[in-house]
Structure 1
């Protein structure tokens, strides 16, 4: 009897010691695999999209709050043209305004957020995809620009949206990338000062010949997943997502966890690259979106549930909508 009791007691000791040992090994292994948060402004590289070190870093070092100051644009005449879609007035396409028109007219009011996400915001004014909705219709949202030169200019415009000095990652983790900073570009041999045509470059590539002008250089930029930016201000529901990053749009879209966000409309640049539009259409179809319209530059994808009146409403000519909105007064100064 005493022998049996002793065996039971020894078994308990062995069980307790084994359990504590396994627990110690698990905790040590966990801490070895979980990276500590970096100090100060050091880039938190190779972090998952929902890593709190990454999200807190974005909030503290890479985000500007919506401005409370009056707008500070180049000129009021340029403002007006820009807000009513300067791209159309300059002979380009008009999907940016079409997207806002669709959201305002056809998304049910109880589902409308009046929020946007603009990735590739440049200086926040020239050919802005979101300024009209922000100033004249009271929208807000997120403006993302990788080029610090143009981001710093955008801060001085006093936009009423969150501004992020970040690059959109083509991975589900944060990383460093090489960015082509362009202050001028060539047009038939003539250098024009315009907001940059910056883009992420392959590591082994040099500055393209067409961009070798004064002020053009390669710089390192910090890239994070789109979801991390949305999570930083907990703005996961949007009316419109504008994506214009001069090339890796599809790769960036593939990083987004669509089951965790709610976006009604996507406007995506496809750059007239052969086959890219078809791939975008296939991608969005799987996610529950329909290609509403497309040009040689941009494509507009809408949630299939909003297709009911879309064709009829979009039959209105762009200039009819333009005339309607030209009479709108700014909501914000």
Structure 2
């Protein structure tokens, strides 16, 4: 009887040891498997393609979705009977240089409310042009949309380099600009000028009006000039710290003819356009 009890105690003790060994073995196997398990790859998403290159297909597609089409409604202008709308007759001068060309394509950067001081409205209304209006100020862009312009429009900023990025912008009713100084700044998305051309499938622009309150040269430096033709450029130089000379020098290096400074703007013509002057 006593020998049987001893045997049972041995079996019980041995069973406990076996169970402990099994548990330790399972824990060891689990640890080994965890070490060699394939860890999931963490993919950093960038839905806005911030800092994407100006030719990035994804960036082009994002911008394409932001472009509003020309309005099919009648104009809703404050001064519908006016012929010219520019500040200092830029539209009339462009029309003169272009010899009253009909059906051209313009880009106006710094389009304001689409009527007051507009350098493109005359060409659109009178000469039947189409084009693109770019205005980053939300308030001005809302007013622009209410004019029912017959051109594409974009409520974004113009990038000062070859990538897309967010920037701080100071709205100021047609005088707004990208800056990190001052109060009441808003955050805007910027796109390179060339990305806008790609989004519209446009490689030739008949007239570019560029007015962004002092950063015009930075924008022009971002353009791959061998891949686009801009026949006539009107670039505001009033707010350039270094004056118009750096801008003139740069555009001459790109093969453009400097036509002179007229009031607040420097004018340039593409080599293929010179013979028409």
Deviation at 1:296, TM superposition (A): 4.4
The answer as to 2:37 corresponding to 1:63 is: no
Q: Shift of residue 45 of structure 1?
A: 1.0
Q: Whole-Å Cα distance in 1 between the matches of residues 93 and 122 of structure 2? A: 12
User: Relative CO higher for 1 or 2, CA cutoff 8 Å, sep ≥ 6?
Assistant: 1
CA root-mean-square deviation: 2.2
Runs of 4 or more off by more than 6 Å in structure 1? none
Check 1:76–1:94 CA distance in 2 against 1; reply closer, same or farther (3 A cut): closer
Query: What's the CA shift string for 1:114-140, capped at 9, x where partnerless?
Result: 000111001111111100000110000
1:49/1:273 Cα in 2 relative to 1: closer, same or farther (>3 Å)? closer
User: Which deviates the most, 95-104 or 136-145?
Assistant: 95-104
Distance 1:47 1:274, change over 3 A: closer
SS in 1 for 2:74: coil
Q: Is the 8 Å Cα contact of residues 113 and 238 (structure 1) preserved in structure 2?
A: no
Number of residue pairs the alignment of both structures matches: 237
In structure 2, the residue matched to 1:84 is: 84
C-alpha deviation, 1:157, in angstroms = 0.8
Distance in structure 2 (CA, Å) of the matches to 1:272 and 1:162:
27
Gap regions ≥5 residues in structure 2? 1-40
**2:215·2:240 contact (CA, 8 Å) conserved in 1?**
no
Give the TM-score normalised by the residue count of structure 1: 0.66
**Tell me, which stretches of 5 or more residues in structure 1 are unaligned?**
1-30, 88-92, 183-194, 208-216, 311-333
Choose the corresponding residue for 1:95, options 76, 83, 90: 90
Counterpart check, 1:45 vs 2:50 = yes
State the SS of the aligned residue for 2:252.
helix
How far does residue 196 in structure 1 lie from its aligned partner after superposition?
A: 3.0
Q: Report how far residue 54 of structure 1 moved.
A: 1.2
Tell me how far apart the structure 1 counterparts of residues 196 and 275 of structure 2 sit (CA, whole Å). Answer: 32
Question: CA separation of 1:84/1:73 partners in 2, compared to 1, >3 Å: closer, same or farther?
Answer: same
User: Greater Rg, structure 1 or structure 2?
Assistant: 2
Q: How does 1:290-305 map to 2 (within 5 A)?
A: 290-305=257-272
Change (3 A) 1:243 1:130: same
